[in-house]
Amino acid sequence: MSTTDALQESYQRYLNQLFDAKLLIPSGVKGVYGRSGTFENVIDQFEQYVTRQTRDMKPEVVRFPPVFNRQHYAQTDHIYNFPDLMGSVHSFMGREPEHAELLHKFQCCGDWAHDLDATEVMLAPAACYPLYPSATGTLPEGGRLVDLKSFVFRHEPSDDPARMQSFRMREFVRLGTPEQALAHRDFWLENAQRILKSIGLDVQPVVANDPFFGRGGRQMKATQRDQHLKFELVIPICSEEKPTAITSCNYHLDHFGSVFKINSADGAVAHTACMGFGLERICLALFKHHGLNISQWPESVRKLLDLS
């Protein structure tokens, strides 16, 4: 059996176990699943644990919807770097004659989606994207520390249960000076490891890169890795040889500060950094490493997550 075939088999095996345990619910689309109350409770309890661990930091708590302004999206470089991952929201905007034509195509199995027009919103590819346009202007002394959470979308249908198209990120974002942003990234690289290891997930930090698209993307991947701008915390879920990233720590330099005209208190262009917990992936890792029956998890983990 080839490595690829073995990996696909391991994906399907774990996915079937999750379905059989009624933790995930199939939808007929790869990477799109319903979640059971048990699955959601583990995510909720993990989030509450994170909140308790960060209470003394006093972050601003902000929650954006999973869609954001199309014009703001156009100001980012996402369409250049990740066109294969983006999601655009379209809707019907015609009148009765156009509706009749739409129904005719729909009923005849025609390509009715071509009759839909782009709305004013895009699906958010990261929880932090809507934050930056809202931060235009001068930051307070000391910058900002923001606690975010949102469903995000990435069009990458896969048999890997950990590679969902729609999933949640809990992020802590720092906006400020280069020193503040870099210190935030480095702090969370250590702190996220501590949090995850305390609940029995023996994550390992690795230098990483985003999946930049196309020929030019190869150079951007190399640059990102060479400058150590992105780290991931990985752990085996379906494969020991190909562990899964369940947390990422990113330093964006002044990219978002320049695009959205965000300045630090000293008037310089602000730098930003973020740390994101992949909530579904963390939940999948917990079930993989501790078993599908929560009552049999280690007592220390159940106590920390208040699952007793």
Helices 178-198 & 37-54 angle (0-180, nearest 10): 130
Counting as low any pLDDT under 70, the low residues of the chain are: 1
164 touches 33 (CB < 8 A): yes
The predicted pLDDT at position 24 comes to 98
pTM of the model: 0.95
Query: Could you tell me the two tokens for 98?
Result: 């156009």
Query: Could you tell me the two tokens for 135?
Result: 């931060």
Q: Which helix (H) or strand (E) holds 67?
A: strand 67-69
Amino acid making up residue 266: D
Question: Is residue 135 a part of any domain in this protein?
Answer: yes
Question: Is residue 103 a part of any domain in this protein?
Answer: no
The predicted pLDDT at position 218 comes to 87
Residue 224: count of CB within 10 angstroms of its CB: 18
Which range marks the domain in which residue 144 is found? 3-89+124-304
The predicted pLDDT at position 256 comes to 97
The predicted pLDDT at position 6 comes to 86
The predicted pLDDT at position 280 comes to 98
Question: Is residue 209 a part of any domain in this protein?
Answer: yes
Round to whole Å and give the CA distance between 53 and 292: 26
| Cα 68-70-72 angle, rounded to 5 deg | 80
**Cβ-count burial 66-81 (b if 16+ within 10 Å, e if not):** bbbeeebbeebebeeb
Give the length of the chain.
Answer: 308
Round to whole Å and give the CA distance between 80 and 75: 11
Amino acid making up residue 112: W
What is the domain count for the chain?
1
Beta-bridged to residue 144, according to DSSP, are 175
Question: Is residue 172 a part of any domain in this protein?
Answer: yes
Look at residues 38, 55, 42 and name the one whose alpha carbon lies nearest to residue 306. Answer: 42
Domain holding 178: CATH number? 3.30.930.10
Round to whole Å and give the CA distance between 301 and 308: 9
Query: Could you tell me the two tokens for 243?
Result: 């562990």
DSSP for 183-201, written as a single string: HHHHHHHHHHHHHHHHTT-
The predicted pLDDT at position 192 comes to 98
Question: Is residue 116 a part of any domain in this protein?
Answer: no
Round to whole Å and give the CA distance between 95 and 56: 55
Question: Is residue 28 a part of any domain in this protein?
Answer: yes
Question: Is residue 226 a part of any domain in this protein?
Answer: yes
Look at residues 306, 292, 299 and name the one whose alpha carbon lies nearest to residue 20. Answer: 292
The predicted pLDDT at position 179 comes to 97
Round to whole Å and give the CA distance between 285 and 227: 29
Question: Is residue 108 a part of any domain in this protein?
Answer: no
Residue 138: count of CB within 10 angstroms of its CB: 14
Write down the number of H helices and E strands in the chain: 11, 14
